[in-house]
Structure 1
Amino acid sequence: MAGAALPFAAAGRASAAPTPVFAHGVASGDPLPDGVILWTRVTPTPAARPGSGLGPASDVTWEVATDTSFATVTASGSVTASTESDHTVKVDVTGLSANTRYAYRFRVTSGPAAGSVSPVGHTRTAPAPGADVSRVRFGVVSCSNWEAGYFGAYRHLGTHRDLAAIVHLGDYFYEYETGGYSGSGGVIRQTQPANETITLRDYRIRHAQYKTDPDLAELHRTVPWICTWDDHESANNSWSGGAENHDASEGSWAARKAASERAYYEWMPVRPAASGNGRHLYRRLRFGSLLELSMLDLRTYRDQEVSSTSRRVDDPGRTITGATQMRWLTDGLASSTTRWRIVGNSVMISPVLIPPLDARNTAALTEVLDLPREGIPYNADQWDGYTADRNRLLGAIRDGGVDNVVFITGDIHSSWACDVPVDAARYPGAGTVATELVVPSVTSSNVDDILGVPEHTVGNAVPAAIMTANRHVRWNDFDAHGYAVLTVTPTAAQMDWYFVRDKTDPRTGRYHARSFRVASGSQQVQPVGGTAD
């Protein structure tokens, strides 16, 4: 979608500050070598609040330029913001140059807000598919609960240089009513609406509130995002036919899930992939010859969670990915020609078992006791509750000779560095097929928050117990909040974890916590002393 420069007035040189018309900022996402998604939301009148269904339609022009003064406009066009999309605007810009930084902006050209200009956003396209890329860096985040604290992690993440994108691994927001999930510290700041999000209006209002957080809005403005959802974008522990946090009094699950998906696609800078039945969120992005990033959807197609002590976790008929997504994932990993294969994974794939059992020698015992054959999972909401699918995926990686697979994961409100073993009970002798690097929550409650104790006191006993039983878990931290930076080069992938000092302080400091490195070809995590900066 290329075109000549639009006749913006000098007053159109917008700053980073939001305006009432563009109160929810601007964002970009899903960078390709020749394109990127651009997003904003227009508030044409004060009554046209998110979720209200009110306000006139407005024509909106957009520009992409190689300079912030917009002297050299590369692409431009016009779209309409209306109540149909909750006055959000999303443009899939094409025709751009690979591995190039761009500025972009929006301008309202009709209706009561005509002449209003958005803040100037900054984005970056991906390298060309065959480009020899020496380094790609991602900010990695998960689990940001408005009521549990401030988003200082986003502010600090924005200080890192040369980020190709922010990868958000799910739980961008939480669906609970006010006070429904804020930890022992109580409600730090109240969500809107105050009720649990169930309807399309509710989900739109909740999305909109998050976009007003200044640290989140600034990170959206300055760096493209690559996002997937987990459960809380719809309801806790969701699956294909329902959710733990949904009952019949709240209407049909299908209607609620459809409402949550519609609001997500309206309010997030994502590019859903087309399919025969409409669209889906799992997708793959490539960054030169260095890496492919496969973003998964582990909620829409999964079967219902079962008890951790049930042998049904091993049922080969149960799935976490769905058959179509599994084929897409395994075929994509096997056919990839890049050096690294990064998988954006919303729930942990590494086994965490109490304890890991050698299925060859304990099958008789587990069958008599009606227990899972590999041990009792710590959390059956993860891949541990769907062992047949995990075995299919890891088997495809092993049998296909696919190396340099790194799962980056969120969900569990804690930090982990793991080897992904062929057999947890026989680790390390049986070998490893991949690695996993898990990021902490931005604010969502950890062990210390739930128990109401100081950070790294009671929680310090948990990692030692887990790592003693699960030797492939090389490090974990159950208390701290923050983010991580993943740096990928031809020789290694390194994750640097950063923790914030106090999530209840909007100006909190941060510190570097740990770093782990995966050398190319090793399929193992190793601690390193310094960051990759």
Structure 2
Amino acid sequence: MTSLSRRTVLRAAGTVAAAGAVVVPVTTARSTPAAAATGTFTHGVASGDPLPDGVLLWTRVTPRRDAKPGSGRGPAVPVRWEVSTTSDFRRIVARGTAKTGPERDHTVKVDVRGLLPATGYWYRFISGHEQSPVGRTRTAPAEQAAVDLLRVGVVSCANLQAGYFSSYRHLAARGDLDLVLHLGDYLYEYAPGEYQARDVVVRPHDPPVEMTTLEHYRRRHAQYKQDPDLQALHAAVPFVVTWDDHESTNDAWEGGAENHTEGAEGAWVDRRAAAMQAYAEWMPVRYEAGGQLYRRLAFGSLASISMLDLRSYRDQQAATTTDPAIGDPDRSITGEAQMEWLLDGLSTQQAQWKLVGNSVMITPVLFPPALGAAAVEGMEKLMGATTVDGVPYNIDQWDGYTADQSRVLRHLGDNGIENTVFLTGDIHSGWACDLPADRATYPVTGASVGTELVCTSVTSDNLDDILGAPPRTASLGVEARFRTNNPHVKYLDFDSHGYSVLEVRPGGMRMDWYVLSDRTDRAATSSLSESFQVLAGTQKVSRI
């Protein structure tokens, strides 16, 4: 999301470099799940990108006191890892040794293969005489295997300064998720106090500056990974992630960012490289710095998930909403190679449900006229909009790249592709939308070529925060105007913080939106707010 008042940047990514596996003797040590990591394994454990025969495992070790994240200090060390079918590690099915050191900030990634499909495993790491917390993970179903249910936690936009990560705690406690889909803004780049509309810094960022260097990005990743609720969720279920802009800086594009000043904050190419390296080191994802983040995962015959990278290849955002560049076919949000990959996958994937992990909204949205000065200002701050009646309000979304937007929607319609659902974050609000075949005729025909479900923010500021209003008061009228102006938008919540749970079945899928009682309360409760479904073959959302 665009900041309240600052410039912004391109998205960061890191390196997957899984250390080489070396067979070691099976240990007889026991390990039990830990509530939070301590000592050598202060930053916990994580898994990600599940395949039918494998999964990626992650941790970070602190071999001695001065080997702090970003310090470049500390020796190279071996770290053992073990995967078991039992929680007491009596049945170890894979094991090895990975080497790590200051050149990768003492992070460890291991791409474990040779596992059974659709199987739960426990894993742990061992350094010297210390053991990590035990993590739980699960492989994907076999290729084209019949799958009755895929249950996914969906999250986005977690600003540590703005609140506690209670959403992660509630998801970890469920015990029924197959994976967590994190759609970007896993962390934020700002210095303390730069991004809280209500002027409350719940937990100040480390380092206490806007991150621009490799040391800064490493330290910020380390701070987030020490959050107990995030550690609990990482230890409970594999993640599938992509980045949006704040993993590097606000409104990033291929050659720069709104929140980057060339010279004063160094060269963009250096800042981008630092963000990518730290992301690769600290995230459980098959990605190497400077490599390709977009990828596709399959879950039997039921679903595939195509994870997009909408920062690394995009052209610079248009200057205003009336800029003719918005419709220029030579401008792209995906880049040509990724666009061809996406369209080909939508056409050829045999999985019934074609899910797209999408960091910014693809639904065409028109800004309603005559909202009033306060609401207009609030929407501008929330969405980075330059408001002009009746034109796209957010030029950082697909609405700012209408040639690409139309190309995708036209491809779905022209090829009769069914059951495509875009799963999206970024915009700090909950949405359920049809993707109109033709926005102009949709109110009459209702023709839709796909759907989009958008999760709200974990903690990042929403419209009520910006307006300084109680939740579900001032925003209600704004939401009603948006729905009236955009009849394909069936659900909209501009205020709530929380998380979503997606259930995918052969007959249909549903998204449940859960909202937190108070993002600034570490013990915040959550409650079910709304549920929408997409029945198989309909290409339309409907309230349950």
Bin of the TM-score, shorter chain as denominator length: over 0.9
Name the structure 2 match of 1:137.
Answer: 151
What is the alpha-carbon distance in structure 1 between the residues aligned to residue 44 and residue 89 of structure 2? 19
Residue 454 in 1 paired to residue 462 in 2? no
Which one of the candidate residues 81, 85, 88 is aligned to 2:104?
85
Which one of the candidate residues 465, 469, 473 is aligned to 2:489?
473
Worse-superposed segment, 510-519 or 445-454:
445-454
Name the structure 1 match of 2:399.
Answer: 384
Preserved CA contact (<8 Å) 1:2 1:74? no
List runs of 5+ in structure 2 lacking aligned partners: 1-19, 370-385
TM-score computed with the length of structure 2 as normaliser: 0.90
What is the alpha-carbon distance in structure 2 between the residues aligned to residue 341 and residue 298 of structure 1? 18
Q: Which aligned pairs between 1:253-402 and structure 2 lie closer than 5 A? A: 253-272=268-287, 279-306=291-318, 307-354=320-367, 375-402=390-417
List runs of 5+ in structure 1 lacking aligned partners: 109-113, 357-370, 529-533
Residue 207 in 1 paired to residue 221 in 2? yes
Give per-residue Cα distances to partners, 1:18-41, cap 9 Å, x unaligned. Answer: 121000000000000000000000
What is the alpha-carbon distance in structure 2 between the residues aligned to residue 195 and residue 156 of structure 1? 31
Deviant stretches of 4+, over 6 Å = 1-5, 371-374
Preserved CA contact (<8 Å) 2:35 2:228? no
Alignment-mate amino acid for residue 281 of structure 1: L
Change beyond 3 A, Cα 1:335–1:353: same
Alignment-mate amino acid for residue 488 of structure 2: H
Name the structure 1 match of 2:4.
Answer: none
What is the alpha-carbon distance in structure 2 between the residues aligned to residue 491 and residue 405 of structure 1? 14
Alignment-mate amino acid for residue 350 of structure 2: T
Residue 99 in 1 paired to residue 91 in 2? no
Preserved CA contact (<8 Å) 1:56 1:82? yes
Give per-residue Cα distances to partners, 1:359-406, cap 9 Å, x unaligned. Answer: xxxxxxxxxxxx999951121110000000011111111122111000
Give per-residue Cα distances to partners, 1:461-499, cap 9 Å, x unaligned. Answer: 111010000000001000000000000000001000000
Residue 499 in 1 paired to residue 492 in 2? no
Alignment-mate amino acid for residue 261 of structure 1: M
Preserved CA contact (<8 Å) 1:492 1:519? yes
Where 2:114 maps in the other structure, the secondary structure is: coil
Which one of the candidate residues 430, 438, 447 is aligned to 1:431?
447
Q: Which aligned pairs between 1:42-121 and structure 2 lie closer than 5 A? A: 42-108=61-127, 114-121=128-135
User: Percent of pairs identical after alignment?
Assistant: 55
Name the structure 1 match of 2:16.
Answer: none
Change beyond 3 A, Cα 1:330–1:354: same
Preserved CA contact (<8 Å) 2:44 2:226? yes
User: How many angstroms does 1:158 deviate by?
Assistant: 1.6
Residue 236 in 1 paired to residue 250 in 2? yes
User: How many angstroms does 1:7 deviate by?
Assistant: 3.6
Preserved CA contact (<8 Å) 2:36 2:228? no
What is the alpha-carbon distance in structure 2 between the residues aligned to residue 430 and residue 18 of structure 1? 52
What is the alpha-carbon distance in structure 2 between the residues aligned to residue 520 and residue 373 of structure 1? 37
Name the structure 2 match of 1:508.
Answer: 524
What is the alpha-carbon distance in structure 1 between the residues aligned to residue 150 and residue 288 of structure 2? 24
Where 1:258 maps in the other structure, the secondary structure is: helix
Preserved CA contact (<8 Å) 1:313 1:372? no
User: How many angstroms does 1:13 deviate by?
Assistant: 5.1
Name the structure 2 match of 1:20.
Answer: 39
Preserved CA contact (<8 Å) 1:88 1:267? yes
**Matched pairs, number:** 506
What is the alpha-carbon distance in structure 1 between the residues aligned to residue 440 and residue 309 of structure 2? 29
Preserved CA contact (<8 Å) 1:272 1:282? no
User: How many angstroms does 1:252 deviate by?
Assistant: 0.9
Which one of the candidate residues 171, 187, 192 is aligned to 2:206?
192
Preserved CA contact (<8 Å) 1:35 1:93? yes
User: How many angstroms does 1:185 deviate by?
Assistant: 4.0
Preserved CA contact (<8 Å) 1:474 1:525? yes
What is the alpha-carbon distance in structure 1 between the residues aligned to residue 27 and residue 33 of structure 2? 11
What is the alpha-carbon distance in structure 1 between the residues aligned to residue 524 and residue 446 of structure 2? 44
Change beyond 3 A, Cα 1:16–1:152: closer
Where 2:43 maps in the other structure, the secondary structure is: coil
Where 2:103 maps in the other structure, the secondary structure is: helix
TM-score computed with the length of structure 1 as normaliser: 0.92
Q: Which aligned pairs between 1:394-433 and structure 2 lie closer than 5 A? A: 394-428=409-443, 429=445, 431-433=447-449
What is the alpha-carbon distance in structure 2 between the residues aligned to residue 374 and residue 522 of structure 1? 32
Alignment-mate amino acid for residue 82 of structure 1: G
Give per-residue Cα distances to partners, 1:423-465, cap 9 Å, x unaligned. Answer: 2221141611100000000000001111211111111111101
Name the structure 2 match of 1:220.
Answer: 234
User: How many angstroms does 1:279 deviate by?
Assistant: 1.9
What is the alpha-carbon distance in structure 2 between the residues aligned to residue 242 and residue 463 of structure 1? 33
Change beyond 3 A, Cα 1:96–1:77: same
What is the alpha-carbon distance in structure 2 between the residues aligned to residue 38 and residue 383 of structure 1? 33
Where 2:276 maps in the other structure, the secondary structure is: helix
Where 2:513 maps in the other structure, the secondary structure is: strand
Worse-superposed segment, 433-442 or 178-187:
178-187
Preserved CA contact (<8 Å) 1:30 1:225? yes
